[in-house]
Amino acid sequence: MAKEEWNRKFSVIVLIVALLLSLSALTRVILLLSTHASGVSVTQFAGSLFIGILYDLSVASFAIIPFVLHVWLQNNFIYRRSVMPFVCLFFAGLLALLLFTNIVPKDYNTDVYNILIYYIAARFVIYLFLFFMPYSFRIRWRTAILYMSMTLVVFLLLFNAVAEWFFWQEFSTRYNFIAVDYLVYTTEVLGNITESYPLVPILSIVGVLTIVIVFLLRKQIRASVISPSPFVRRSAVAISLLLMPLLAYYATQEKWRHFSRNEYANSLAGNGLYEFAVAFTQNELDFYKFYQTLPDVTAFRLLRKQLETPNSHFVSNDPYNIEREITYTEPERKLNVVLISVESLSASFMHAFGGNENITPYLDSLAHHSLLFTNLYSSGTRTVRGLEALSLSIPPTPGQSIVKRPDNGHLFSLGSVLRSHGYTTQYIYGGYSYFDNMKEFFGHNGYSVIDRSAIPADQVHYQNIWGVADEDLFDLSLHVLDQDNKAGKPFFAHIMTVSNHRPFTYPDGRIDIPAARQVREGAVKYTDYAINKFLRDAQNKPWFDSTIFVIVADHCAGSAGSVELPVTGYHIPMLIYAPKVVEPREVNTLTAQIDVAPTILGLMHLHYRSKFFGQDVLHMPADKQRAFISTYQGLGYLRDGKLLVQSPVKSIHEYLADFKNGNETAVQVESGLADEAIAYYQSISWLLRHRRQEE
């Protein structure tokens, strides 16, 4: 066999790599030419091209994986009539295994399970069809599959190049967390793209170019099918190529592209697909790059002014230090604390906030015996954002919650404060705590993490993909708290419920809404039932009278609206119940979710050093009331009935907030309010970047 003939076996791999490298280089040239006054020198651009090739090769190593497998494993042997019955039987057996056994639990992930079933069924049907076709047709089929796969890859590479150009025109950078956000909010984003760009002509042009390129390369593509190659030699090449993605994953560093002081040059050095993957894993958006800023010293001066209260004083004159000594005239009370963060509990579900569906009968009753906070707003729209606010007491930073970011340990938290005062501190979750990085985050921030794996299987009444039923979670919590009490130390437990989450399933016979209906109203009412059962059981415990129970939502059930940040989509309830400690009343102070932790510590009159951005609402001066609401990009600041929203790219808008319907009326931006909002968000970004928010 001629060496040239053997080399042609992997020609399709060479084509993909060459096409990706060429398109990436051309993209860099076009992006540079489209950027006015970029300041990129010839030397810097040369550096961008050189470093960019390293990222391009890294991406290419992943792009070629399915083609390497196809060239390696697909051969004429399996298409012989004597062999194909065994191939059909293999896929039929695999399909039966999945359909009629529990080897893959059907409720583990419905979408993934269905995709797997459809894929295997399709393979079975295809091979069964090919069995009745002539041998020559089966070989042509292999070629057709390779043509279709190549067409798809070429189309995606061309479309990505076009998408990168549009993204660059809007944000002057490669893909980042905004692009990840686009993937998260697919419906809204696709609608926006359709309205903003001539999508049909663009797709048509990309489609035509794809067909032309594949047609011109047809001989090389076909060569990968018809060129002979011994299996051993083919395996050696294939395995070597499949090791490349592993090498790229561990060797390629995102920091390589930051080689100059010109950010345009640094961005050009990147690869859009690589940067997208980095943003997806790091989930962070640089505040200084995408939002309006103040001089850092000015931002901290404004922040320190906002954090001044009669019962606190700063421990340092360092302008970038917000640490304060918090004191109370009353003696400290070493009370136990049980913080229950309830999944997706909108204020509108409760009768006290206008709800009329009677789905929170117990909480409505408990409200008359508790501190009821009527003007509280969640930081965001996801559980991890609520957990961040409740534990760290910091404003939401752009991008993903700190809970899901890397290197997020040893931060100043409610757990670290109470642990320093001799408390046992725990996070108890009804699901598996690896979800949303909870175990990593809480485990490295002063909490012992306890999840559903601590519950014996015979003690689980009900479970779904998210975790055990809330009553099982609370039974576990009672057991843990009993053990804490026996240890003779005060305890703090943060309990996170899971039942009020799609698919809204729960045990039968608990409430008057049948579980089979699978509606949110039933899930909410079941959680209300479970909280009632938990507190009734807790009343019989020796530690009940010396415990503060805090019931608060992590976020609302929904935040959709006709405006970017509808305030009604962030309005959540909070009840603080401690019949031997707290006098019942309504608290109408404007409250941010980040104020919950300092308010709990204030009820105990605890003396501590604070790095919290939140404040004790029960001792907050009237002129310091404000709240924070956000999406991944939009950073909202509520104050005096107005909502100021900061967005990329360096955009600020101010609205009169409609607290009844969630509408907004645009008004002229007040510089004082804008500076105040910027100060909060910029300061926390600075502190996290410089690791000054650690305990």
Residues within the annotated binding site for Mn(2+)?
Answer: 343, 383, 554-555
Cα–Cα distance, 42 to 260 (Å, whole number): 12
| Torsion sign across C-alpha atoms 192, 198, 204, 207 | negative
- 393 φ/ψ sector (left φ>0, alpha ψ -120 to 50, else beta): left
Angle between the N-to-C axes of helices 470-486 and 520-538, in degrees from 0 to 180, rounded to the nearest 10: 20
Angle 372-375-380 (CA atoms, 0-180°, nearest 5)?
A: 110
φ, ψ of residue 649 in degrees (nearest 5): -100, 110
Cα–Cα distance, 534 to 544 (Å, whole number): 11
| Torsion sign across C-alpha atoms 649, 650, 655, 658 | positive
Structural tokens at position 186 = 């697919």
Cα–Cα distance, 113 to 312 (Å, whole number): 55
The residue behind tokens 């583990």 is 108
- CB–CB of 535/549 below 8 Å? yes
Q: Residue 453 carries which side chain, given as an amino acid letter?
A: S
Binding residues, as ranges, are: 343, 383, 501, 554-555
**Could you tell me where the DSSP H helices lie in 516-595?**
520-538
The residue behind tokens 């090769």 is 57
The catalytic site residues sit at 383
Cα–Cα distance, 54 to 269 (Å, whole number): 9
- CB–CB of 391/445 below 8 Å? yes
Label each residue of 646-678 as H, E or C: EECCCEEEEEEECCCCCCEEEECCCHHHHHHHH
Output the CA–CA distances (angstroms, integers) from residue 536 to 370, 481, 491, 557, in the order listed.
Answer: 15, 15, 19, 26
Residue-wise burial string across 384-398, b where 16 or more C-beta atoms lie within 10 A, e elsewhere: bbbbbbbbbbbbbbb
Output the CA–CA distances (angstroms, integers) from residue 539 to 391, 534, 546, 552, in the order listed.
Answer: 26, 9, 11, 20
- 636 φ/ψ sector (left φ>0, alpha ψ -120 to 50, else beta): beta
Binding residues for substrate, as ranges, are: 501
Cα–Cα distance, 193 to 632 (Å, whole number): 18
Count CB neighbours of 675 within 10 A.
Answer: 15
Q: Residue 442 carries which side chain, given as an amino acid letter?
A: F
Cα–Cα distance, 177 to 213 (Å, whole number): 32
R_g over Cα of the chain: 29
DSSP 505: -
Q: How many residues does the structure list for the chain? A: 695
- CB–CB of 331/316 below 8 Å? no
Structural tokens at position 158 = 């061309």
Q: Looking at the DSSP assignment, which residues form a beta bridge with residue 356?
A: none
The 3-state DSSP class for residue 165 equals helix
